[in-house]
Amino acid sequence: MTETLSSVNLDAALSKGGAAAAGLTRLWESLWQQDHVPPALLELCRLNFARLYNDTAELGAAMPYLPTDAVTADRRQAVIEGKAHDSALFSEAEKAALFFAEYYWMDAQSITDEAADAVKAHFGEPGLVLLIEALGCIDARIRTARCLRDMAAFAPAMEATYVR
């Protein structure tokens, strides 16, 4: 059985890069073990990025650090379809974070003070900082997974490593 590389299963592929890769994994794991922003909301943000990138591998993945019922199927589907902002399935705090994530995805310079203030209103300054760090990690991992998948396709010798 093959598992397509995505942001959630990237660490084994990067481990060839040495000690720094282990540090990256530790940072990644810490995002899912903090109390500032619910980890399930970070998973919703990951799915939001997957939708915006139209990244099939990412849309099909699920964050293994979370319980399988952490994000219900209807909430997951609403994010994937871009309907979260108008849905009663999401709290105002979740909508603020998902909205902020969309600015971040487009360009960090495009983030408005209003979008940041809305996040802070629900999660405080530490929550805003944690969300920014998490979005950076999620986006970086999506980018890297895309690059490694492409490299595997164009450089077949790498395929055994990067497409498990």
Partner 1 sequence: MSAKPRATGPGTQTGNVIRDSAMGLVPETVSHIIALNGSVWRDSLVTPSLLEIVRLRNARTVNCVICRSVRYDVARQDGLTEDRADMVADGYEQSALTTREKAALTLADSYLGFPAGVNADAAKQITGEFSEAEIASLLVALMNFNISSRTAVSIGGMPENPLPIMEVSLAIAAD
Report which residue type is found at 162: Y
The interface region with partner 1, picked from 39-47, 75-83, 91-99, 156-164 by CB under 8 A, is 156-164
**CB neighbourhood size of 148 (10 A):** 18
Compute the distance between CA of residue 22 and CA of residue 39 in angstroms, rounded to an integer: 21
- Ranges within 51-110 binding partner 1 (CB under 8 A): 53, 55, 104, 108-109
Stretch touching partner 1 by CB under 8 A, among 16-24, 60-68, 73-81, 90-98: 16-24
Contact 7, 55 (CB under 8 A): no
146 binds partner 1 (CB under 8 A): yes
Burial class (CB in 10 A: 0-12, 13-18, 19+), 90: buried
- Would you tell me which residues interact with partner 1 (CB under 8 A)? 13-24, 26-27, 30-31, 33-36, 53, 55, 104, 108-109, 111-113, 116-117, 120, 125-126, 128-130, 132-133, 135-137, 139-144, 146-148, 150-151, 153-155, 157-158, 161
